[in-house]
């Protein structure tokens, strides 16, 4: 009986071992068949060291194919701790060639890590010299650094890149994904200690370069507009000057100047003026953001009399005013309990609507606004898309600041009618004026025109919303005639250009708070008046001395057009446009 028990016990043990053996065998087969790829990858990870290869960032071109954002080959110097055989030599040579503090280099060389970057953006000549020394454990990888051939030209539009070649502001941010490309890598085989195995081949995955961006910017127009802006800024000791040049039919932007600009190749160095403004309450980053800020897109202001273009268009479209209607200006007008003055203290007396816009008479436009009424005025403000952003392809666009409809009384309506008590961006204003003079067609202002694949040359045009109608073609034609009268007979006469019929409107808007004597002087001018091909808005912020837009801003547009209208192939006007 005891012997039988022992036999059964032995049998049970054998069966148990057999089950364990089967389980282990099954597990081994499972790992070898089903999980082989996983463990192969783990082994490869242990045996390989990976270094990234930066992709070349796409170039940015102007409308004529001129490169305005380029790349320069640089090097990234790094060390692999396990592969350094002579640390003292590595420290000595790198600190000398890279002109770095020896202790900083030592800290990185002696740090136990898979890879430690010593310095990026090293000149290729220096990188080649380090490579030729064949220092054990030192890696020299080629990289790319963004360079801007025109330094500060269109700086606030183009933007710049950071240490990892990523876009920071401007077009570099908007089109960052397309421009960046895809990084490659270098894989090297190492032993268990992390030391590269001699004779083992490198596995290289080539990077994919970024797409090239073609823009509507014109280096020649941008350069000349910048020179004019800098000149008037110095003459008038102004806080800033902006010049925006567009096609009113397509929305392409030829130039966007906002001086003072900054050096794109050294974007983190403050200008002397901003450096002097450092205080305990103002950080360097605050001042840098101020230096980089594009006021054309990101700052709102009270437009003043240039907004009368919009009030006039709404009134003509609604049929509440005709060109022959007469008004009286006695130097001021009473609205509710408030007396609102005209720029001409003695008043203009009796005048037609045409003369009212030529004279930029506030009382005339207040009466026109009151004829429209609050609700209809607000409806046109909405119809003309003034409450929405333009959708321009640079970041940081600001929204319009406007009264709520329920808060608009007669006084608010009166002041809005001639361009006060609300704020919008310069780009929003000029875009709407484009639509009002181009036949009434909605456009989207933009810089990006097309993206090109540098590997196969394929070319994709960028598209933007357009085509919707905001006013009738008749109203648009009438506005072109009225604005030509402003330049030929009225306050915009300093914007006249020999051989061309110019349309335009002046403005001199007092900044808030009132009574400080600070103004923004501006002029909108387009050519030819009967078939606009180009339109420009010039604003001069806080000029010293004479500050009327018709006197100091209109001549800037005139001088600009004397040079760029022939350059753009705009035909001269043979016969003046007759009144509709």
Under 8 Å between Cβ of 564 and 346: no
The CA-CA-CA angle for residues 115, 103, 75, to 5°, reads 45
Kindly state the DSSP code that residue 470 receives in the 8-state scheme.
S
Q: What is the DSSP string of 68-120?
A: EEEEEEEEEEEE-GGG-S-HHHHHHHHHHHTT--HHHHHHHHTS-SS-EEEEE
Rounded CA separation 31/227 (Å): 72
Under 8 Å between Cβ of 487 and 493: yes
CA atoms within 13 A on the CB side of 137: 29
The CA-CA-CA angle for residues 511, 513, 515, to 5°, reads 85
Q: What is the DSSP string of 362-393?
A: HHHHHHHHHHH-HHHHHHHHHHTTTTS----S
Find out whether the peptide bond into 79 is cis, omega within 30 degrees of 0. no
Rounded CA separation 256/221 (Å): 9
Rounded CA separation 516/236 (Å): 17
Rounded CA separation 506/493 (Å): 10
Under 8 Å between Cβ of 450 and 460: yes
Rounded CA separation 490/360 (Å): 8
Q: What's the distance, Cα to Cα, between the start and end of the chain in Å?
A: 127
Rounded CA separation 253/392 (Å): 10
Rounded CA separation 180/71 (Å): 12
Which element (helix H / strand E) includes 172? helix 171-174
Q: Is residue 361 left, alpha or beta, with left meaning phi > 0 and alpha meaning psi from -120 to 50?
A: beta
Q: Is 458 a catalytic residue?
A: no
| 283 phi and psi angles, rounded to 5 deg | -80, 165
Rounded CA separation 455/43 (Å): 35
Residue among 305, 313, 360, 509 flagged as catalytic? 305
Rounded CA separation 320/530 (Å): 24
Q: In whole angstroms, what separates CA 461 from the centre of its chain?
A: 19
- Report the catalytic residues: 305
């Amino acid at each position: 009986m005891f012997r039988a028990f022992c036999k059964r016990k032995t049998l049970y043990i054998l069966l148990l071992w057999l089950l364990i053996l089967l389980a282990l065998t099954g597990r081994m087969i499972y790992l070898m068949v089903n999980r082989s790829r996983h463990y192969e990858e783990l082994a490869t990870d242990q045996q390989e060291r990976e270094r990234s290869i930066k992709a070349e960032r796409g170039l940015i071109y102007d409308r004529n194919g001129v490169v305005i954002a380029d790349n320069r080959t640089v090097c990234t110097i790094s060390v692999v701790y396990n592969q350094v055989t002579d640390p003292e030599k590595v420290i000595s040579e790198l600190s000398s060639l890279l002109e770095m503090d020896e202790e900083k280099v030592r800290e990185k060389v002696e740090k136990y890590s898979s890879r430690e970057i010593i310095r990026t953006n090293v000149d290729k000549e220096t990188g080649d010299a380090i490579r030729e020394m064949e220092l054990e454990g030192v890696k020299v990888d080629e990289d790319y650094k963004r360079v801007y051939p025109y330094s500060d030209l269109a700086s606030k539009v183009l933007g710049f890149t950071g240490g990892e070649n990523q876009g920071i502001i401007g077009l570099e941010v908007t089109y960052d994904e397309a421009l960046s490309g895809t990084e490659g890598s270098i894989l090297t085989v190492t032993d268990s200690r992390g030391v590269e195995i001699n004779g083992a081949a490198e596995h290289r995955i080539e990077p994919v370069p970024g797409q090239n961006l073609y823009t509507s910017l014109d280096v020649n127009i941008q350069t000349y507009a910048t020179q004019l802006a800098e000149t008037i800024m110095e003459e008038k000791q102004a806080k800033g000057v902006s010049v925006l040049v567009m096609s009113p039919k397509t929305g392409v932007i030829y130039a966007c100047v906002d001086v003072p600009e900054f050096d794109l190749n050294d974007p983190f160095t403050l200008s002397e003026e901003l450096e002097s403004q450092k205080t305990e309450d103002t950080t360097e980053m605050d001042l840098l953001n101020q230096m980089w800020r594009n006021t054309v897109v990101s700052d709102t202001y009270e437009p003043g009399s240039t907004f009368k273009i919009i009030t006039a268009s709404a009134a003509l479209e609604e049929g509440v005013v005709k060109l022959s209607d007469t008004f009286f200006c006695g130097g001021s007008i009473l609205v509710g309990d408030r007396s609102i003055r005209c720029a001409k203290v003695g008043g203009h007396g009796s005048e037609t609507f045409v003369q009212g816009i030529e004279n930029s008479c506030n009382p005339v436009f207040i009466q026109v606004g009151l004829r429209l009424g609050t609700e209809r005025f607000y409806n046109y403000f909405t119809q003309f898309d003034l409450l929405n952003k333009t959708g321009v392809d640079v970041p940081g666009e600001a929204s319009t600041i406007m009264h709520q409809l329920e808060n608009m009384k007669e006084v608010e309506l009166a002041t809005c009618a001639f361009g006060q008590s609300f704020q919008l961006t310069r780009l929003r204003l000029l875009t709407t004026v484009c639509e009002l003079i181009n036949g009434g067609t909605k456009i989207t202002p933009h810089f990006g025109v097309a993206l090109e694949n540098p590997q196969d040359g394929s070319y994709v045009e960028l598209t933007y919303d357009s085509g919707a109608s905001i006013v009738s073609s008749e109203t648009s034609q009438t506005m072109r005639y009225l604005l030509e009268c402003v330049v030929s007979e009225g306050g915009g006469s300093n914007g006249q250009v020999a051989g061309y019929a110019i349309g335009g409107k002046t403005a001199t808007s007092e900044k808030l708070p009132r009574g400080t004597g600070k103004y923004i002087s501006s002029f909108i001018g387009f050519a030819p008046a009967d078939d606009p091909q180009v339109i420009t808005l010039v604003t001069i912020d806080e000029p010293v001395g004479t500050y009327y837009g018709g006197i100091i801003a209109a001549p800037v547009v005139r001088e600009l057009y004397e040079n760029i209208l022939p350059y753009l192939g705009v035909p001269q006007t043979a016969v003046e446009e007759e009144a509709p």
